[in-house]
Every structure is written in structure tokens, then in C-alpha cells.
């Protein structure tokens, strides 16, 4: 079978291309440009660097790209940038994407496999894109008798709530979407929505296995919520603030809190594994017992959204671990104070402090994420009664031990205002 027209002539092909270019040019000049001018005339644009952004100025940017730098600089100070780009959704989604790839390769190496290989030629780096396209292309099947509004809303709510946690995470000094004074409390308040979404979705699925999975999710998250919050309490005692930026700053002034609160860090790590429903705590999705748990009736992009949400949640909890215990963005300077780039000078956009902070924050977060991926290769699934016993009896006791240590450090004058170890 020929894949090109039978009466194909190269000359005609080139001619048709030239006609196409001709008509595009004509339409752009006669219709497109006047339209742009009309829109720009009526839309008030902000003055940047004391210069009002006129249509003329806007057109000159097409000729000289370096003129866009003040606009980008201005954009980087807006809330939209914070929410949509840097410490917000794009950054989190990028880290989530890298996490998925690293997890698959890392786990494969651990299990003497190769992992993704073909998509994207080089070690299967585009496997995630292939999977995403597949999920988008699949049909979404809603079970008969399902509660349709909740069934459709829950996956979106899952991603939204995960992204809401990300909004509270400062990734560099000043780079945080919502810098609230009770940041840590707000994080835990938002995390409290996840079992609700799991239960609502499992109930809305109108199926037995999702229902068992939803109940398991509820039990598990409630059992681990309390040690989770209590493990952060000793950090709050040590730093004297609930503000996440404040917690990082107090660690920069003294030492990383993991040295003073190792038990809390351990409990926090275990609890975040349970919160993320990762092995060994993946009971709500236990495959061999209850098919896929509360995700049994998900299909296509509904499943994709919940997976995206859970990986963004992984980033958020790893970042929270870094902020609470590993000193956030603290680290030695590696970037030069000034840079000079050829052709387009991006020096006005360059902030060595933020670049340095971002580097260290990202590296530490990846380290913690790797630590969270590790149990999947070495551990079987835990049983619900052992899990509840671990959550309610053991972890809470452990956190209290560390709270008393923190109190002793504060009252002993070692940490806290004017303490021995505070620089």
C-alpha cells in the first residue's frame, strides 16, 4: 500500500507550500496585526520600569528578545508565578514526573530488571508521556449506579488538595505561594481532606472492593494522623514558630533539627509513608486482597489524575520533611554572585540566593523521595491490625519521647531564644 498520493508531483508539492506561505503572510498582515493592535489598544497594560507597555513596544520585543526581560522580571514577582510556576504546581509536577521515572528505574535496578527502555530512545525517558497519552486516550467507565457528581469530582479534588499542600511549601527564601503564620497547621488541615476524598470516592463507586478500600484508607489515615502531627510538634517546640519559613530560618540559625529530633523524624517518615499509601502501607490499594482498593472503579484519566495527585503529595511530604528536619534550603553557596551571558544578558533575572536555595532544596527533597521509594523494593504489605497497633500504640509513644527531649533542650538553655547552640 502506497502511503503517498498516486499522482504525486514534487513541483506541485513545492508550489502548494509556496501558496500556503503567501496566504499566511497576507492574512497575518491584513487581519492578524490590526487585531493585535486593537486588542492592545483597549487592554490597559502595566507600566514596567517606568515605561508604559504600548503596542509599539510589544512589537519591538519580537525583534529584540532582551526587551522581554523586564516583563519576565515583573512576572516573577507576581502571585501567579508563585502559584503556577516556581514553588507551585509546575515545579511540583516536574518533580513528580521525575520521581515516577526515577522510581521505575530505581526499582528495576533493585529487582534485577531493566525498567522502561523503548519510549524516548534513551533509557525510556518518555515512558511517562506515553503512559499519559494512553490514559488520556482511554475510555472513562462510570459504574452503573455510581453517584456521578462525586465520582467525577473526587479525582479533581484529589489533585487540587495535593496542589493546595504544595502552595504552603516554601522552596526558597521568599518563594512561597501562601506564607501564612500557621503554615504547619494549615498543611495538616489540608492533609485531613485526603481520607474524606478516598471515602467519598469509594462510596460513590457503588462497588464492594472500593468500599472496603475506602474504609481501610479512613482507618489508616486517622491512625497515622496523630503521630504525624505529634512528630512535627517537637520541631515546633524547638523552633518556636508554626511558620514554615520561620522553621527553616531557626534551623539556619542553629543546626538541622534531625540532630535534635531523630525519633520524630523517623516517626514522620513512617507516617508520611502511611499517608501516601505507599508499600508497606498500601492497604487501601492492596491488589491481591481487594483488587485495587478504592481505585478499583477508576479508569482512564480519572486514574491518571489520582496518580498525579499522589505523586504531587509525595513531593509535598518530602519537602515538608526537608523543611522540618533537614534545614530546608540551607546549604553552602555554589553559584557565583554575578553572571554574564552572551547574546541575551539575563543578569537582571539572576538571583544567586534563590538559585542556591532551590538547588539545595531540590537535592534534599530528592534524597527524601528516594528514601520513600526504597521500602517498595524490600518490604511486603503490612496487615491492618498490625498497622493500627503501630499507629496508635508505638508511634505516639515514640513521638512523646522526642517531645520531652525537645522540652529538655529548650528548658536546659541549649536551644530556643538565647540558647547555647543558637548562632
DSSP notation for 237-299: HHH----HHHHHHHHHHS--GGGT-HHHHHHHHHHHHHHTT-TTS-GGG-HHHHTTGGGTT--
3 state SS of 165: helix
Q: How far is the CB of 198 from other proteins (least distance, A)?
A: 17
Neighbours of 123 (CB within 10 A): 15
Distances (CA, A) of 134 to 129, 131, 300, 303: 8, 5, 8, 12
168 by DSSP, 3-state: which?
A: coil
Query: Cα(first)–Cα(last) distance of the chain, in Å?
Result: 77
By CB under 8 A, residue 386 contacts other proteins: yes
Q: Using an 8 Å Cβ cutoff, are 249 and 259 in contact? A: no
Closest to other proteins by CB, 95 or 103: 103
Q: How far is the CB of 285 from other proteins (least distance, A)?
A: 10
Q: Is the Cβ of residue 138 or residue 219 nearer to other proteins in the bound state? A: 219
Q: Is 308 in the site for other proteins (CB under 8 A)?
A: no
The binding track of 166-205 with respect to other proteins, each residue x by CB under 8 A or -, is ----------------------------------------
Q: What are phi and psi of 232, to 5 degrees?
A: -75, -20
Which stretch, 15-23, 197-205, 206-214, 261-269, contacts other proteins (CB under 8 A)?
Answer: 206-214
Burial class for 281, CB neighbours closer than 10 Å (0-12, 13-18, 19+): buried
The mark string for 113-142 relative to other proteins (x by CB under 8 A, - otherwise) is: x-----------------------------
212 vs 242, beta carbon nearer other proteins: 212
CA angle, residues 219, 222, 227, in degrees to nearest 5: 130
> Rounded to the nearest whole angstrom, what is the least distance from the CB of residue 377 to other proteins in the complex?
5
Task: Please identify which residue in 287, 336, 363, 404 interacts with other proteins, judged by CB under 8 A.
Answer: 287
- 395 is a site residue for other proteins (CB under 8 A): no
Question: Can you tell me which of 160, 291, 359, 396 binds other proteins, judged by CB under 8 A?
Answer: 291
What is d(CA 57, CA 285) in angstroms, rounded to the nearest whole number? 56
Number of residues that bind other proteins (CB under 8 A): 29
Nearer residue to other proteins within complex by CB, 195 or 246: 195
Burial class (CB in 10 A: 0-12, 13-18, 19+), 65: exposed
Q: Is there binding between residue 394 and other proteins (CB under 8 A)? A: no
Stretch that binds other proteins, among 189-197, 208-216, 325-333, 360-368 (CB under 8 A): 208-216
**From the CB of 214, what's the least distance to other proteins, in Å?**
13
CB 151 within 8 A of CB 204: yes
Tell me how far apart the alpha carbons of residues 62 and 69 are, in angstroms, rounded to a whole number. 12
**Per CB under 8 A, does 289 bind other proteins?**
yes
Question: Residue 10, Cα to own-chain centre: how many angstroms?
Answer: 50
The least CB distance from residue 123 to other proteins, in Å, is 19
Q: Binders of other proteins among 365-384, rule CB under 8 A?
A: 376-384
Per-residue binder mask for other proteins (CB under 8 A), 311-340, x = binder: ------------------------------
Residues that bind other proteins (CB under 8 A): 107, 110-113, 208-209, 212, 279-280, 282-283, 286-291, 376-386
Amino acid at each position: 500500500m502506497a502511503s503517498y498520493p498516486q499522482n504525486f508531483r514534487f513541483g506541485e508539492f513545492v508550489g502548494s507550500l509556496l501558496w500556503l506561505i503567501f496566504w499566511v503572510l497576507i492574512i497575518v498582515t491584513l487581519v492578524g496585526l490590526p487585531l493585535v493592535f486593537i486588542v492592545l489598544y483597549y487592554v490597559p497594560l502595566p507600566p514596567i520600569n517606568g515605561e508604559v507597555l504600548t503596542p509599539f513596544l510589544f512589537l519591538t520585543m519580537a525583534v529584540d528578545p532582551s526587551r522581554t526581560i523586564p516583563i519576565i522580571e515583573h512576572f516573577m514577582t507576581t502571585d501567579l508565578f508563585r502559584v503556577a510556576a516556581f514553588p507551585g504546581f509546575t515545579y511540583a509536577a516536574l518533580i513528580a514526573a521525575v520521581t515516577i521515572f526515577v522510581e521505575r528505574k530505581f526499582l528495576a535496578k533493585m529487582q534485577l530488571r531493566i525498567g522502561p527502555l523503548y519510549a524516548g530512545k534513551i533509557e525510556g525517558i518518555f515512558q511517562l508521556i506515553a503512559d499519559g497519552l494512553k490514559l488520556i486516550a482511554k475510555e472513562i467507565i462510570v459504574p452503573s449506579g455510581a453517584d456521578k457528581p462525586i465520582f467525577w469530582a473526587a479525582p479533581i479534588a484529589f489533585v487540587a488538595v495535593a496542589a493546595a499542600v504544595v502552595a504552603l511549601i516554601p522552596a526558597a527564601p521568599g518563594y512561597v505561594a501562601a506564607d501564612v503564620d500557621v503554615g504547619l497547621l494549615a498543611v495538616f488541615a489540608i492533609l485531613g481532606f485526603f481520607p474524606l476524598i478516598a471515602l467519598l470516592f469509594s462510596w460513590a463507586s457503588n462497588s464492594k472492593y472500593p468500599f472496603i478500600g475506602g474504609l481501610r484508607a479512613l482507618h489508616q489515615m486517622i491512625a497515622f494522623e496523630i503521630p504525624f502531627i505529634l512528630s512535627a510538634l517537637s520541631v515546633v517546640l524547638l523552633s518556636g514558630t508554626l511558620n514554615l519559613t520561620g522553621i527553616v530560618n531557626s534551623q539556619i540559625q542553629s543546626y538541622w533539627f534531625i540532630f535534635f529530633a531523630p525519633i520524630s523524624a523517623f516517626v514522620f517518615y513512617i507516617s508520611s509513608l502511611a499517608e501516601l499509601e505507599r508499600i508497606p502501607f498500601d492497604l487501601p490499594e492492596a491488589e491481591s486482597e481487594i483488587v485495587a482498593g478504592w481505585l478499583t472503579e477508576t479508569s482512564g484519566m480519572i486514574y491518571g489524575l489520582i496518580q498525579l495527585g499522589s505523586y504531587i503529595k509525595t513531593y509535598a511530604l518530602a519537602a515538608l520533611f526537608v523543611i522540618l528536619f533537614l534545614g530546608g534550603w540551607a546549604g553552602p553557596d555554589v553559584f557565583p554572585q554575578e553572571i554574564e551571558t552572551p547574546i541575551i544578558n539575563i543578569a537582571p533575572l539572576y538571583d544567586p540566593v534563590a538559585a542556591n536555595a532551590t538547588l539545595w532544596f531540590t537535592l534534599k527533597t530528592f534524597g527524601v523521595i528516594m528514601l520513600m521509594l526504597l521500602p517498595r523494593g524490600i518490604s511486603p504489605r503490612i496487615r491492618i491490625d498490625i498497622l493500627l497497633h503501630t499507629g496508635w500504640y508505638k508511634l505516639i509513644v515514640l513521638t512523646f519521647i522526642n517531645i520531652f527531649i525537645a522540652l529538655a533542650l529548650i528548658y536546659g538553655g541549649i536551644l530556643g531564644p538565647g540558647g547555647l547552640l543558637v548562632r
